[in-house]
Amino acid sequence: MGFLIGEAPIRRTLKYLNAGRIVFKDQIKIFSINYNHGAKSHQGAQEFVFWHFTQIQYKNPNVQLQVFRNITPTPFITTYLDNGSEMLIDMDNKSKDDILEHVVKVLGKSDQVLKAEAIAREKKDNPANFGFKCEKHCICQIPGQIPCPGLVRLPDFMRGKKMNPQGVN
């Protein structure tokens, strides 16, 4: 399979992309990384881009991501927020793990927020959820279902009281 050819093909698997820890806050609109290829002080930034950039792309579809190579003397991250301000993060002589931890801490959503969003999304998206603390109190409110017997009388053949075996009255 051509999909798994190349350097570190695991980076292109869905399991690896879902394992990313960086989910940006809603205020972040543009995320850019600047580093030089092959420089010793830029090694952590280069490895961070190699291992985590695709995960960031996958987890943050509404954020514009940019990588600038070989145009800066020191590696750094620039983040542009929706209110027009920008934030700079220095990555000089840091390892990829240090950069990852710092980006998650400063720019990422907390675990509680992520869990709450997942629960709200699951509740909202699933039409099978009905009852207490849901959008629909009863299944009869879903289009195509039988109305509540308390509101509309069911037809006789659905009630079970008036059985008509073999067409005999």
pLDDT at 4: 67
- Which residue ranges in the chain fall short of pLDDT 50? 1
Tens digit of each residue's pLDDT (9 = 90 or more) over 41-63? 999 999 999 999 999 999 999 99
pLDDT at 1: 46
pLDDT at 124: 65
Give me the domain span that covers residue 152: 126-162
Do 106 and 133 sit in the same domain of this protein? Answer: no
Do 61 and 21 sit in the same domain of this protein? Answer: yes
What contacts 24+ positions apart, CB below 8 Å, involve 109-116? 109/23, 109/24, 109/25, 114/23
Do 84 and 130 sit in the same domain of this protein? Answer: no
Do 63 and 142 sit in the same domain of this protein? Answer: no
pLDDT at 162: 64
Residue 158 belongs to a domain = yes
Burial of 33 (0-12, 13-18, 19+ CB in 10 A): buried
Q: How many domains does the chain have?
A: 2
Do 152 and 73 sit in the same domain of this protein? Answer: no
